[in-house]
């Protein structure tokens, strides 16, 4: 008769241990999720940043975004000094600050949706979120004004953020290496081997004797 209570007590203790472990796991997951969301929503100077240099090719103009100072347009030439962009990426999420390497002004969007260049990029209106689209282009939406995108019309002039949507070609960009610089991935492209290339290789290895 004493075996049954002992077994029942053991099962109860086992259940309590399992319950507390489950609660602790759920709490840790919730805390970590809150931590990530908090840092993604409010990036700060304490987060480690990554800095990259590239160009933003505009799908609309066929040229590149350039920061001249307070004025910004999408009429920059490939390799132009004002088209070189220094992109500061936050550790959490895809929040970026975009600065002109030459002008040292940041791309910002004010409360009217106007795109302006500012020397201080610490404001939230100078932060954009990268959205990677299915067509291999990238869109940049304001982190402060939700649904307002960085965009340029066919003449290369900035569009108001309030008049943009993700589907518009005016907000589609492609990241490109500056002229003269080779993307490291280019070195790993495969070469298609044909009968002609095989013959050329044989001739190079075993040249014809006269």
| DSSP, residue by residue, 63-99 | SEEEE-SS-EEEEEPTT-GGG-EEEEEESSTTEEEEE
Q: What is the pLDDT of residue 49?
A: 72
In-domain check, residue 83: yes
Which residues 6+ apart lie within 8 Å of 95 measured at CB? 40, 43, 89, 127, 128, 129, 143
Q: What is the pLDDT of residue 209?
A: 54
Return the HEC string of 4-33. HHHHHHHHHHHHHHHHHHHHHHHHHHHHHH
Contact (CB, 8 A) for 168 and 141: no
In-domain check, residue 11: no
Which residues 6+ apart lie within 8 Å of 188 measured at CB? none
In-domain check, residue 61: yes
Lookup result for tokens 């590149």: 64
Lookup result for tokens 């939230």: 124
Please give the sequence-ordered ranges of beta strands (E in DSSP) within 124-203, or none if there are none: 128-132, 138-142, 173-176
In-domain check, residue 112: yes
Task: Quote the CA–CA distance of 8 and 16 in Å, as a whole number.
Answer: 12
Contact (CB, 8 A) for 77 and 83: yes
Q: What is the pLDDT of residue 190?
A: 36
Q: What is the pLDDT of residue 184?
A: 45
Which CATH number belongs to the domain containing residue 156 in this structure? 2.80.10.50
Q: What is the pLDDT of residue 207?
A: 55
Q: What is the pLDDT of residue 162?
A: 96
Tokens of 66: 């350039």
In-domain check, residue 90: yes
Q: What is the pLDDT of residue 48?
A: 60
Q: What is the pLDDT of residue 91?
A: 60
Classify the C-alpha dihedral 106-108-114-118 as positive or negative. Answer: negative
Q: Residue 30, Cβ neighbours under 10 Å: how many?
A: 10
pTM, 2 dp: 0.65
In-domain check, residue 162: yes
In-domain check, residue 118: yes
Mean pLDDT by 10 residues, the chain (210 residues): 60 70 57 46 56 96 98 97 93 85 98 97 95 95 97 98 97 90 44 47 53
Domain ranges, residue 48: 41-176
In-domain check, residue 96: yes
Domain count of the chain? 1
Q: Which long-range contacts (CB under 8 A, 24 or more apart) does 27-33 make?
A: none
Q: What is the pLDDT of residue 189?
A: 38
């Amino acid at each position: 008769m004493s075996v049954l209570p002992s077994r029942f007590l053991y099962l109860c203790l086992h259940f309590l241990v399992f319950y507390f472990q489950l609660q602790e796991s759920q709490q840790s997951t919730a805390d970590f999720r809150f931590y990530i969301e908090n840092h993604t929503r409010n990036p700060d100077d304490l987060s480690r940043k990554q800095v990259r240099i590239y160009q933003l090719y505009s799908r609309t103009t066929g040229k590149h975004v350039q920061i001249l100072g307070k004025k910004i347009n999408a009429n920059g030439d490939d390799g132009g000094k004002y088209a070189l962009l220094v992109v500061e990426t936050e550790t959490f999420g895809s929040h970026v600050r975009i600065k002109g390497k030459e002008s040292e002004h940041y791309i910002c969007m004010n409360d009217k949706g106007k795109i302006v260049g500012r020397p201080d990029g610490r404001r939230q209106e100078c932060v954009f979120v990268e959205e990677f689209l299915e067509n291999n282009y990238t869109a940049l939406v304001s982190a402060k004004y939700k649904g307002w995108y960085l965009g340029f019309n066919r003449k290369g002039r900035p569009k108001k953020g309030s008049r943009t949507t993700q589907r518009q070609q005016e907000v589609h960009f492609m990241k490109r290496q500056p002229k003269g610089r080779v993307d490291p991935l280019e070195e790993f492209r495969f070469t298609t081997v044909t009968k002609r290339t095989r013959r050329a290789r044989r001739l190079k290895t075993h040249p014809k004797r006269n």
